[in-house]
Amino acid sequence: MKEQLYSYLLMLGDNSMILAHRLSELCGHGPSLETDIALTNISLDLFGQVRNFFQYAAELKGGDCTEDNIAYLRTEREYYNCILVEQANTDFAHVIARQFFFDQFQYLQLKQLEKSSDETIAAIAAKSIKETRYHLRFSSEWMRRLGAGTEESHIKTQAAVDRLYPFVDELFTASAIEKALSDAGIAMDPGTVKAEYEQETKTVLEEASLILPDAAPRFAQGKQGMHTEQLGYILSEFQYMQRAYPNMEW
Amino acid sequence: MVREALQINNPEVQRALESVCDPEVPVLSIFDLGVVRKVDVLEKHVQIDLTPTYSGCPAMDTIAMDIMTALAEIGYTAKIKHVLSPAWTTDWISEEGRKKLEAYGIAAPRNQQVDKRILIGGASELECTNCGSTNTQLVSEFGSTACKALFRCLDCLEPFDYFKCLK
């Protein structure tokens, strides 16, 4: 059970961390000063949440395991984030759609985890959900603004939805660990919030004059450590300092 | 509210802790901010429970260091524990803290209802910290630090920060 809990914490942390890294790539490159600040602030909140998950994971592991080892010193197959969050920044519509699809999921997930029988997970969830609620408000407002904005912003946002939505299905496919831990009252079985997710997402998209694509879900196994080539590029930059200067501290 | 709940039976330690402020909003002491949850003084050693405002707020590390320094100066050692639960809320900012924020030019957090209306683009009910006009407008939901949003006054044209409501 302890080993499973450890892996579960890595999965929770990796989702937020890889997305936080993607957002941090936009620092100084946002389409406007306000959105630049917003995306990097969201990144900062996410990194803070990741630290809480990884500090707890390091404590469980014991020995000389630290949050930094966990974050920086794993190989690609040992990261368990979903494929959605590793998708490249391309244009602003993609950045916002990726954020919206994730925020909506994360909000529902944290709401469940607040009731986790594991006290530390419940405490981290109760802390994080306040921030995530704010992120969700930001990303869903931008979905409406872009989708119902100009002809061009609508076309670009619909294209982002068409491309990214097929990755959403992975979020709701429970891994063996999620199944085992949700039976124990620790984790959330993501299948249980799927209907609510679809309803909430549909409401925002309708207001944004956007439609959900009919396309079949993409086969994705990020939770099992199987990634797209995107993650390799992310990690080569993300891990550079620790690989070049082992054990360095900021 | 938070302050009353905190019993520190050591005036010397109390004074030292009161001198520690939020590095990003230097008018607020850590008590005004409501991040000190528990203080235990055992002879020359102090144990403190601290709760973060935002998960990723870099000021928390600085605050912990400043506490150690302030206590070391009066001959105390300190151990700081970060506690997440119950999670911090802007309701824990003291009345005095709110006044200090406004005087410093940062609008203090309003209740959730007002905040929601502001963020979906409805009329703002926030008074400008410079001239008091409510003819103000949200410029950015995110500001210079994790805890702030940016507004501007449409009468005196001055920009000002708003301490985001977090509940």
Nearest beta carbon to residue B85 from set A47, A123, A130: A123
A204 occurs within a structural domain: yes
Ranges of each domain in chain B: 2-92, 105-163
Give the model's pLDDT for residue A110.
Answer: 98
Give the model's pLDDT for residue B121.
Answer: 52
* pLDDT tens sequence across A24-75: 999 999 999 999 999 999 999 999 999 999 999 999 999 999 999 999 999 9
How would DSSP label each residue in A211-235? Answer: ----PPPPP-BGGGTB--HHHHHHH
Residue A96 in contact with residue A143, Cβ under 8 Å? yes
Give the model's pLDDT for residue B6.
Answer: 75
Judged against a pLDDT cut of 80, whether residue A250 lies above it is answered with no
- Residue B102 burial (C-beta neighbours within 10 Å; 0-12, 13-18, 19+): middle
Per CB distance under 8 Å, which residues of B are interface residues toward A? 52, 54-58, 84-89, 119-121, 139-144, 146, 150, 164, 166-167
A50 occurs within a structural domain: yes
Give the model's pLDDT for residue B149.
Answer: 92
A155 occurs within a structural domain: yes
Q: Which domain holds residue A19?
A: 2-244
* pLDDT tens sequence across A157-191: 999 999 999 999 999 999 999 999 999 999 999 99
A28 occurs within a structural domain: yes
Q: Alpha carbon B65 to chain centroid distance?
A: 17
* pLDDT tens sequence across A83-113: 999 999 999 999 999 999 999 999 999 999 9
How would DSSP label each residue in B146-159? Answer: TTEEEEEETTT--E
Establish if A126 touches chain B: CB-CB under 8 angstroms. yes
Establish if A53 touches chain B: CB-CB under 8 angstroms. no
CA distances from B108 to A8, A66, B149 (A): 38, 37, 11
Does A130 contact B144 at a Cβ distance shorter than 8 Å? Answer: no
- Topology annotation, domain B2-92: GMP Synthetase; Chain A, domain 3 (3.30.300)
CATH number of the domain where residue A42 is located: 1.20.1260.10
pTM recorded for the entire structure: 0.92
Core vs surface per residue A202-214: b (16+ CB within 10 A) or e: eebbeebebeeee
* pLDDT tens sequence across B38-91: 999 999 999 999 999 999 888 999 999 999 999 999 999 999 999 999 999 999
A40 occurs within a structural domain: yes
Q: Which two tokens stand for residue B53?
A: 């405002």
A250 occurs within a structural domain: no
Residues of B with Cβ-Cβ distance to A49 under 8 angstroms? 55-56
Does A137 contact B167 at a Cβ distance shorter than 8 Å? Answer: no
Q: How many domains does chain A have?
A: 1
A249 occurs within a structural domain: no
A132 occurs within a structural domain: yes
